[in-house]
Amino acid sequence: MNHAPPTDGEAIVYCDGYFTSPLAKIAHGLVRHTRRYRVLSVIDKTHAGHDAHALLGGTPNGIPVLTDFDSAIADAEARGHRPTHFVIGLAPETGPISPAARNAVITALTRGLDVDSGLHDHLSEDPELNAIARTHGRKIRDVSHSRPRSELHPFTGRIEEVGAFRVAILGTDAAIGKRTTAWLVKHALRHHGIKTELIGTGQTSWFQGAEYGVVLDGLIHDFITGELEHAIVRCWEKVRPDVMVLEGQGSLMNPMSPGGLELLAAGRPHAFIFQHAPARLHYTGSPGYPLHDLDRQIRAIELLSEQPVLGVAINHEGLDSAEAIARACADIELSTGLPAEAPLAPSLGPQPPEDDDVIDDASRLPRIMAALIRRVQWHLSQRR
């Protein structure tokens, strides 16, 4: 197994009241897999007493959900750990930090923890929080904070020098499981002996320790494609992978979180896997805006890219039985002609904690992965 020490330290993750909500997707990612921290606990009093990974449908991994900061510190000390970071595990679309979360940040800073946040409300720009951090010798790190323009890269066309096969994970909505599927695909390809890297594009993949990527939310629009290209070229120059898995953001027509076209323009993918939640009717954050048809979104991507969608990974939220999940997959296969599989369906058993090169996640997307591996092998044969 991958027992490499965390790169940044030991973390308490805060998402009080929201752990089982899509708004806690940063917390979900950290509980499932991270190289950046050793996650010690999750704070959410509404689910205290449970194992965090079990609440997400996985096997217990020893990360407890606890009531508050004091109980998280006590639990860590009882197990011989000393937390170094307090991570905001929430990713709301807009708006300032809540008073409760702000108070939790103040408590963490005064108790000697650094604070990491992916919120659009940049905590490092808050005069009061900054003063408290300085007083206690702590740091506040805003992951979505834009770098100076002098450090940003324009699109150059160097993407054409990259010989890796690139598969993009896109979806019909935001917060639908694209990043989780991207990790599954990466792990599965590595398990089959194919040298693979993930190109992260969001805050959560940064929190998880993705080695290559960029946080798109923190970029000026004119530099989005250039920064994506730069991340891909950097990965190619450093490790020469056979495959790069490109994590998609948002969806083509989500009014609050439009995304996907930047991957087509800058990443030039050779194939796509689509993520879809059949029971979801409206775009996340935009009630009253119905989801566009899956078929139409697939056709749009294939028309613009001139590359194929290989299959549909199903988010089974709102499907309350194995029969309902199977029926949804069958309906999608009938309408699209593509394999449709639900990688986290309960019928497959709990998902083990993710660990590079160990889990055969191809078993969770068998037909999609078979189609992908065939295309990768053909691509590699042409490259040689």
Specify the pairing of strand 85-88 against strand 114-117.
parallel
CA separation for the pair 312, 195 (Å, rounded): 23
CATH 3.40.50.1100 is held by the domain 151-383: no
Helix, strand, coil in percent for the chain, rounding step 5: 40, 15, 40
CB 201 within 8 A of CB 225: no
Residue-level pLDDT at 2? 42
| CATH topology match: 9-142 vs 151-383 | yes
pLDDT (tens digit per residue) in 125-151? 999 999 999 999 999 999 999 889 999
For helices 99-110 and 127-135, angle between their N-to-C axes, nearest 10 degrees: 20
pLDDT digits (tens, 9 = 90+) for 334-350: 999 999 999 988 877 77
Residue 116: beta bridge partners?
87, 141
Q: Please identify which residue in the block is written with the tokens 């796509």.
A: 272
Q: What CATH class does 9-142 carry?
A: alpha beta
Instruction: Report the candidate in 294, 307, 304 with the shortest Cα–Cα distance to residue 375.
Output: 307
What phi, psi does 251 have (nearest 5°)?
Answer: -160, 165
Where exactly are the structural domains of the chain?
9-142, 151-383
pLDDT band at 22 (very low <50, low <70, confident <90, very high): confident
pLDDT bracket for residue 358 (50, 70, 90):
very low
